[in-house]
Chains A and B, each alone.
Chain A
Amino acid sequence: MFLDKGKGAAFAFLYGAVLAALAALPFFADLFYQTFVTEVLVWVLFAVSFDLIFGYTGLLSFGQALFFGVGAYAVAISVLKLGLGTGAGLLLSVAAPVVFAAFVGYFSVKLSGIHFVIITIIFALIASTVAETWTGITGGTDGLVFMAPPLNLGFLKVDLMDIRSTYYLVLGVVSLSCLLLRRMVRSPLGKAFVAIRENEDRARLIGYDVPRLKLVSFVVAGGLAGLAGGLYALSLKYASATFLHWSISGHAVVYTIVGGAGTLLGPMLGAGLIMSLEHHLVNLLQATDLVVGSVLVFMLLMAPRGLVGLLQGRRK
């Protein structure tokens, strides 16, 4: 709602305020909390990338973990095995998933509905099986641990061993990505995506090359999911084959649905809220997914437009 429809000034003000608050966070919160928020930001990016294909284009994919995992490994392998810098690693964490997404997407967009869901899962399953067995390259489920060299941005050197610096890097990348995504969903391309979501056949008949547009959406989402994975690996200094499992995609699905699909703000709220909930519950209850699952079912039945939908409802 705010993030994709709000009028220019109101939006800029709100976004700026939230950004300022987040930027000020390290001055008020301890390192543990900063690490937590860093992680939340990563999942926000992942959820927002899912919202692009699901909330805006209408494609339900449980296979986004593939791109998330590839992005994480792109960073880990660049640094550990290829001796590349962190910057190159981050670039690859977008580039490599884009290539994968183009491949997977090319075949997947030929299908719709349940068949699309299944084929994306199968691709993710193949990838995670490969990742689990090629332990030489991926370290399997134990994964790869690496030391990330400082990121050299020319005017700035970001020390990734420092929690606060890592936090600012992730905050910067995620907030920039969200701005770009907002521009995209309000652009002519974004309008085309929404038309496809609403009525694919009608979109085709008024002249949209639907398979190609679906592929574009899928590739952009894959690239952003990969970036999220890359940031995740950087913040943890770790990548594992478990990152590619389809249940990781489930997180993005839950955050987006609970927050409100098709709104960009929704996945942000959803990720923030659910992760905070889990964070606080984990001391009481080992099975935090119990609450997550229940909240998901509850929201689907009672508030299908998510939290944002509820907020919008009150405004009227």
Chain B
Amino acid sequence: MDGAAGNVILRLEKVSKSFGGLMAVNYASFSVKKGELRALIGPNGAGKTTLLNLISGVHTATSGRILFLGEDITRLSPDRISHKGISRTFQVTSLFPGLTVQENIWAAVQSRKRFLNPFVRAERWRDVGEKTESMLELTGLSDKAGVVCSELSYGDQRILEVGVALSTGPELLLLDEPTAGLSTQESMALVKRMRSMIGGQTILLVEHDMGVVMELSDRITVLHYGEILAEGTPAEIMGNEEVRKVYLGC
């Protein structure tokens, strides 16, 4: 997962987002290279989740541009952005609660199809079935395929959510505090599983757990009051005076 040869796949240019006068994100500019694992850290309310919302299309930027693979995605709807190759997970798990693990993954794999055929039984789509099977194995949840999602343990749900996000075959994966609500042990298990699930995608990771951040990231971007405070390698960021002042290793 080290930063591969330098193509920039995501670029934010002076992106701002205001909510009725409150500037959640303020002229943020940064870029992420293909294959990189970029961590986004900052105190609560710094605008990290808002940034993810802007990139994934949940919110629209008030000003500025977001470019993905050279294309301007600033005003696209979330489903269009998903088809461009961006996927995300949420701080508060967002899955299909009444559906089984297998059905959750299937829904994500199936979403790539242009025409949702109402005249055939879904099982006839063997390619979707096979991809679902392999994604299930990747998540390690194959033996729980028939379990209804709301009955899974919290940790398994977090893993499933990453699995669902990966099932759409994204180029860029946005992870919003994947270890939220997990004990240290569970966090380590999640990280381990994530390492094996992720294969070459570019990742933008919002995280509070500095241990995870230090271990996984290639570069770190620090956010404070909606503005980019600093950016650099983990070593550079740890050594940065301003960062230490503002953000005492939350």
A–B contact with Cβ pairs below 8 Å: the answer is yes
CB pair A204 B78 closer than 8 Å: yes
* CA A183 to CA B99, docked complex, whole Å: 19
* Total number of B residues with any Cβ neighbor in A under 8 Å: 37
* CA A201 to CA B56, docked complex, whole Å: 12
With a cutoff of 8 Å between Cβ atoms, the chain A residues found around residue B96 in the complex are 194-195, 198-199, 202-203
* CA A184 to CA B118, docked complex, whole Å: 5
Q: Is residue B45 contacting chain A, with contact meaning CB distance below 8 A?
A: no
A201 CB, min distance to chain B CBs, angstroms: 7
* CA A183 to CA B117, docked complex, whole Å: 10
Give the residue name and chain of the B residue nearest to A262 (CB): B98
A314 CB, min distance to chain B CBs, angstroms: 18
Binds A, one of B60-68, B102-110, B200-208: B102-110
CB pair B121 A187 closer than 8 Å: yes
CB pair B82 A207 closer than 8 Å: yes
Interface size class of A (residues with CB under 8 A): 20 to 34
Q: Is residue B235 contacting chain A, with contact meaning CB distance below 8 A?
A: no
* CA A208 to CA B109, docked complex, whole Å: 11
Q: Is residue A10 contacting chain B, with contact meaning CB distance below 8 A?
A: no
* CA A99 to CA B122, docked complex, whole Å: 28
Q: Is residue A178 contacting chain B, with contact meaning CB distance below 8 A?
A: no
**Chain A 175-205: CB-based contact to B (< 8 A → 1; otherwise 0):** 0000000011011111110110011011111
* Residues of B contacting A: mostly: loop
**Chain B 143-181: CB-based contact to A (< 8 A → 1; otherwise 0):** 000000000000000000000110110000000000000
With a cutoff of 8 Å between Cβ atoms, the chain B residues found around residue A190 in the complex are 118, 122
- Given contacts A187-B118, A187-B122, A199-B96, whether A192 and B110 have CB atoms under 8 Å apart is yes
Give the residue name and chain of the B residue nearest to A209 (CB): B79
* Residues of A contacting B: mostly: helix
Q: Is residue A114 contacting chain B, with contact meaning CB distance below 8 A?
A: no
A76 CB, min distance to chain B CBs, angstroms: 30
Give the residue name and chain of the B residue nearest to A202 (CB): B94
CB pair A207 B117 closer than 8 Å: no
Q: Is residue B19 contacting chain A, with contact meaning CB distance below 8 A?
A: no
Q: Is residue A210 contacting chain B, with contact meaning CB distance below 8 A?
A: yes
* CA A183 to CA B112, docked complex, whole Å: 21
With a cutoff of 8 Å between Cβ atoms, the chain A residues found around residue B121 in the complex are 183, 186-187
Q: Is residue B111 contacting chain A, with contact meaning CB distance below 8 A?
A: yes
A51 CB, min distance to chain B CBs, angstroms: 15
Most buried by A among B98, B111, B120, B121: B111
With a cutoff of 8 Å between Cβ atoms, the chain A residues found around residue B95 in the complex are 199, 202
Q: Is residue A287 contacting chain B, with contact meaning CB distance below 8 A?
A: no
CB pair A191 B107 closer than 8 Å: yes
Q: Is residue A206 contacting chain B, with contact meaning CB distance below 8 A?
A: yes
Interface on A for B, CB 8 Å cutoff?
183-184, 186-192, 194-195, 198-199, 201-210, 213
- A191-B106, A204-B79 known; 11 new pairs, CB 8 Å cut-off, are A186-B121, A187-B119, A188-B118, A188-B120, A194-B107, A198-B97, A201-B58, A204-B78, A206-B87, A206-B164, A207-B79
